[in-house]
Chains A and B, each alone.
Chain A
Amino acid sequence: MQLVDRIEKRRFVGREFLLWVWFESEIFEGTLSTKEHGSFGLWIERQIVLSSGKAEVTRIRGAQPATSREAKEALRLGKLPELAGLHLSWREQEATFVLRAEQLALSGLSLPTVLGGAEEDAAPAALEPARPPRRRARGKEDAARAAERESDEAHESFYERMRLTRDVESIVEAIYRDFLALRLGPAWGNAVAPALRLWAEGGEVDVDRYRAARSATGGDAVRAAARPDGRRPAHAARSPAR
């Protein structure tokens, strides 16, 4: 198979990945984990778009669009998610973005506050600490120094944005790696696909059984097990309740 075929004819894998993220996020109550990143919060919010080659597109907007009856109905009609708004919460950081499944591309990635970024600029003036008025740069030397400082700030802000972007990408990639371990092995047909079908039909998935099956059959990562004390991790408090 040519490279172009491997890319174009298997784009549906991206939709299945997003479907699986949705499924696991729901059954694990918005708390996932990977070997590399430990436990983090991930859930669908704001929007989800489902489609198939022959049916019309279903667009659902709202705080928890994936929990709507319409979303599961679309799955039963053979549609798969094309894109979804995701909320990621890790190490006291929050990010939201839209994942386009067939390209695995991120759009509207909104990062935590960064140095000199738009997020900081947008802070209401009343909440900002009082600052001494800026002196106007006088002479060429002052202007050059001001320009240099501005450039340094822009560079620092860029590095910070890229660091956070890489953090988000690294988590998405780790989840995708775990998905591939399942999707390209026997676990998919034996445990994951039946669980997905049951869930799409509105049935109750036996979470412990599913977790045991996926762990036993080779995924690199193990999903966050409930804590021995039964409490959810801190970020889970912010995730939507099922």
Chain B
Amino acid sequence: MPALKGSLTYARFFVDGDLPDDFRERFMKAIRLRAMKPLDPDEDALERSGFCRVGEPFETDLGYEDVFYNEFVNLGFRTDRWVVPGPLLRARMREAEAAYLAKKGRERMSKREKTELKELVSKRLRRQLVPAMRAVDLSWSLSDGIVRFFSQAAAPAAAMTELFQKTFSLRLVPEAPYTLAARLGLKKAQESAWQDLEPTLLGEGT
């Protein structure tokens, strides 16, 4: 639970946009709507993300007190994904292909039949497996307009940004040298100097 315990590794995002007047009620509804729904082996979705309680990936029934910590909105961003081990899938496919061909009295399968069989075998295997789960805490400081996302990996950050925007109708801007400079406030001359910046050369390799 990086937000609540231990050392902190995170990426910051600046929230672009204003909070609506009734944001607490509105956000609560939107968060509940996008609370994590576990994957079902029989459905087509292979991956899904949603919100859970911060530090509690299995708590997806979210109440006001689970989410609002005074001026902070704290959530877990959970992603479930089916990961069927390749060797297992290949072995089961060989068995299924042999059974299918024996039943049909044929020696070869069409490409379409193979695809359909693979889908069937994958579904059967998924029923025996548990999806891989990843949960990352996020803490949104409403007063600062900053989201701290407790991971620096690009893929989960991109998925979180997308869900955040869908949920709250607010854009997230990742922190970078330019975005922090803009947030701190660049004067007109500085803005123009930024556009013309060239790297400072120190050594022979540059």
Find chain B residues with CB under 8 A from A108 CB: 7-9
Task: Determine the distance from Cα of A100 to Cα of B206 in the docked complex, in whole angstroms.
Answer: 21
Find chain A residues with CB under 8 A from B12 CB: 105, 169
Find chain B residues with CB under 8 A from A35 CB: none
Tally the A-B contacts, defined by beta carbons under 8 Å. 134
In the complex, the answer to whether A104 meets B204 with C-beta atoms within 8 Å is no
Find chain B residues with CB under 8 A from A97 CB: 8
Find chain A residues with CB under 8 A from B194 CB: 6, 10, 184
Tell me whether A106 and B8 are in contact in the complex, defined as CB-CB below 8 angstroms, given that A7-B178, A14-B176, A200-B202 are known contacts.
yes
Find chain A residues with CB under 8 A from B105 CB: none
B70 at the interface (CB under 8 A from A): yes
Please report which residues of chain A, range 19-46, place their CB below 8 angstroms from some CB of chain B when the two chains form the complex: 19
Task: Determine the distance from Cα of A151 to Cα of B200 in the docked complex, in whole angstroms.
Answer: 51
Find chain A residues with CB under 8 A from B70 CB: 159
Instruction: Flag A154-198 by CB within 8 Å of B: 1 or 0 each.
Output: 110111011001100100010011001001110010000100110
Closest chain A residue to B152, Cβ basis: A105
Q: A214 to nearest B CB, angstroms? A: 15
Task: Determine the distance from Cα of A77 to Cα of B197 in the docked complex, in whole angstroms.
Answer: 21
Find chain B residues with CB under 8 A from A103 CB: 11, 152, 174-176
Q: Point out the residue from A13, A105, A177 that lies within 8 Å of B178, measured CB to CB.
A: A13
Task: Determine the distance from Cα of A109 to Cα of B193 in the docked complex, in whole angstroms.
Answer: 32
Task: Determine the distance from Cα of A11 to Cα of B178 in the docked complex, in whole angstroms.
Answer: 8
Find chain A residues with CB under 8 A from B170 CB: none
Instruction: Flag A40-74 by CB within 8 Å of B: 1 or 0 each.
Output: 00000000000010110000000000000000000
Q: Point out the residue from A13, A109, A110 that lies within 8 Å of B177, measured CB to CB.
A: A13
Find chain B residues with CB under 8 A from A111 CB: 7-8
Indicate the size class of the contact surface on chain A: 35 or more
Find chain A residues with CB under 8 A from B190 CB: 180, 184-185
Residue from B9, B10, B184, B186 having most chain A Cβ neighbours under 10 A:
B9
B139 at the interface (CB under 8 A from A): yes
Task: Determine the distance from Cα of A107 to Cα of B202 in the docked complex, in whole angstroms.
Answer: 27
B72 at the interface (CB under 8 A from A): yes
Tell me whether A184 and B193 are in contact in the complex, defined as CB-CB below 8 angstroms, given that A106-B9, A117-B5 are known contacts.
yes
Tell me whether A161 and B11 are in contact in the complex, defined as CB-CB below 8 angstroms, given that A103-B175, A104-B175 are known contacts.
no
In the complex, the answer to whether A109 meets B204 with C-beta atoms within 8 Å is no
A102 at the interface (CB under 8 A from B): yes
B4 at the interface (CB under 8 A from A): yes
In the complex, the answer to whether A6 meets B152 with C-beta atoms within 8 Å is no
A78 at the interface (CB under 8 A from B): yes
Q: Point out the residue from A76, A166, A183 that lies within 8 Å of B204, measured CB to CB.
A: A76
B181 at the interface (CB under 8 A from A): yes
Tell me whether A197 and B202 are in contact in the complex, defined as CB-CB below 8 angstroms, given that A107-B152, A158-B74 are known contacts.
yes
In the complex, the answer to whether B203 meets A77 with C-beta atoms within 8 Å is yes
In the complex, the answer to whether B206 meets A158 with C-beta atoms within 8 Å is no
In the complex, the answer to whether A193 meets B200 with C-beta atoms within 8 Å is yes
Please report which residues of chain A, range 68-103, place their CB below 8 angstroms from some CB of chain B when the two chains form the complex: 75-80, 97, 100, 102-103
In the complex, the answer to whether B202 meets A75 with C-beta atoms within 8 Å is yes
Instruction: Flag B51-94 by CB within 8 Å of A: 1 or 0 each.
Output: 00000000000000100011010100000000000000000000
Task: Determine the distance from Cα of A188 to Cα of B199 in the docked complex, in whole angstroms.
Answer: 12
28 A-B residue pairs with CB within 8 Å? A1-B195, A6-B194, A10-B177, A13-B178, A17-B177, A55-B205, A76-B205, A77-B203, A79-B205, A80-B202, A103-B152, A104-B177, A105-B175, A107-B152, A108-B9, A109-B9, A155-B69, A158-B3, A159-B70, A161-B3, A165-B8, A165-B148, A176-B180, A180-B184, A183-B197, A184-B186, A196-B200, A196-B202
Q: A6-B194, A105-B175, A107-B9 are in contact. List 7 more A-B contacts (CB 8 A).
A: A10-B177, A10-B194, A110-B7, A157-B4, A162-B139, A184-B197, A200-B203
